[in-house]
Amino acid sequence: MTSTPDPRLIDASRHFEAGRLAEAEGAARRLLAEQPAHADALHLAALASHRQGRAAEAIRLFDRAVAARPGDGEIRNNYGCMLLELGRPEDAAAMLQRALELRRGDVMALRNLGSVLRALGKLAEAARALRQAVELRPDFAEAHAALARVLRDLGRPGEALSHAGRAARLEPNLAEAQSVLGLLLHQHGRSAEALEALRRATALDPDDAEARSNLRAVQVAMVPAWHFTMLNDDARNQAYDRAIRAAVRQGDHVLEIGTGSGILAMMAARAGAGRVTTCEANPALAAVAAEIVARNGCADRVSVVARKSTELEVGRDLPRPADLLVMEIFDAVLLGEGVLPSLADARARLLAPEARVLPQGARVYAAVVELPGLRRVHPIRDVAGFDLSPFAVFADPVGQMVELASEPHRMLTAPAPLFDFDFTRAVPISGAARATLGATADGTAHAVALWYDLDLAEGVTMTTAPGVARNHWKQAVMFLPEDIPLRAGQELAAEARYAGTRLTVEVTKR
């Protein structure tokens, strides 16, 4: 700036800093009408034109400003930033490098050059420029945030997280710092903290497309896609709604384990519950469920608690022990989401002595199937002429979720019940059972398929059996270690065991 600024330039600068861009440009142009080569006025008019979306005009004004004062590093620095925003990173890099030649050690130019070099894919050079910036000015939050991005790109997430955390501590209201911090926290498995940082970033700068994109990516990663198929499972939704209407008594305090979208908790409120406490361990789900509950006018009766049920406490999270427990924490083999330990804990600490439970019980079935398509890689052996058998260490020995109706298969035995679980009573945390599976057709036994029926309430049942339309649970398939040739009429012995969240079945010929 000139040693004795023109009052009109001071006026223009104040308008610019207050965001009154048209007024700032007008004041600068009035000065230019008298002094066409006034570098500071050209500079300010260029910035105002750029902010108002008039790129071509801004470039003309910047070129005039540079010509008027070739040795001004600040003008070149801002010009370089604008060129980067306009998608001209090579030109931006040249402009910023010239700015640094004119003003060595200019931390703003170093920070901006680092961002430009990152855009050009020159990550090592970008890191050097940004390291120099933070060495010269250790409290420069924007440079720490930019360096964190580059270090993440270079595959150094630990060092990147350190700089992102430093940036966020230095300037908690810097959206850029919160955005990169959130992404790195998620990369380090700290999803709840990541979500908090990214929500803060989008609140600070709603127009930050990168922060919004990062937030969406973390939210998607935190919530399994099967939640959508579950919500699209009409049979499940209607059965639970009927059962909840039948089970809820006016004024009940209902505890639901596993909030998800909050739909079952709202069903309980609609059915007449006086109070519903629902818990969800996933903080992203819990936050959205609370929003859904409020949007549907249920917040006065439904409380969403972002904790596991085993972390709930009566008197803190629940006003009193619950009269009714509602659960939908089942997977393809029934037990994988922890229904048994969760139920035992709730019964011991969170339920009234005569509390009811929904579902009331479940029965698990097994049948032997011929499944040639999937058998080719279970266990995995040769693929495309290569021995891939070591890859089998990553296969889940408990089996996988399969929709049998969409896979070529044949049922070789009639289904046999393995376990009956009565959720209205204390359920042992482990158990074993034997069953006989009689072959109904000739074939080759490749696997054991499992499914179950849920006894939700009096007269309300549902099943995950093969062929049920839109069954989001599908079936569990456990592949046999070796094929078993079968003839109709032969019998197989099935030995089943469960412990906690795992259920396994072994099959042998009699």
Q: Assess contact for 82 and 51: CB atoms under 8 A.
A: no
Question: Which residue among the candidates 125, 337, 403, 407 is catalytic per the annotation?
Answer: 337
Asked whether the beta carbons of 362 and 375 are under 8 A apart, the reply is: no
Q: For residues 482 and 379, give the distance between their C-alpha atoms in angstroms, rounded to a whole number.
A: 9
| E strand map for 223-370 | 253-257, 275-279, 302-305, 322-327, 351-358, 361-370
Tell me how far CA of residue 443 lies from CA of 271, 436, 465, 479, 495, in angstroms. 50, 17, 21, 15, 21
Report d(CA 166, CA 162) in Å as an integer: 6
Please tell me which residue in 25, 171, 256, 328 is annotated as part of the active site. 328
Whether residue 195 contacts residue 219, with contact meaning beta carbons closer than 8 Å, is answered with yes
Beta-carbon contacts of 35 under 8 Å, excluding residues fewer than 6 positions away, are 41
Token pair 């580059």 in the structure block, residue:
150
Instruction: For residues 487 and 490, give the distance between their C-alpha atoms in angstroms, rounded to a whole number.
Output: 6
Identify each DSSP E strand in 371-429 by its residue range: 382-383, 386-387, 400-402, 410-411, 416-422
In this structure, what are the phi and psi dihedrals at residue 111, rounded to the nearest 5 degrees? -60, -45
Q: Residue with structure tokens 């090579």?
A: 90
User: What is residue 153's three-state secondary structure?
Assistant: helix
Active-site annotation holds for 328: yes
The percent of the chain in helix, strand and coil, each rounded to the nearest 5, is: 45, 25, 30
Q: Which positions are catalytic?
A: 328, 337
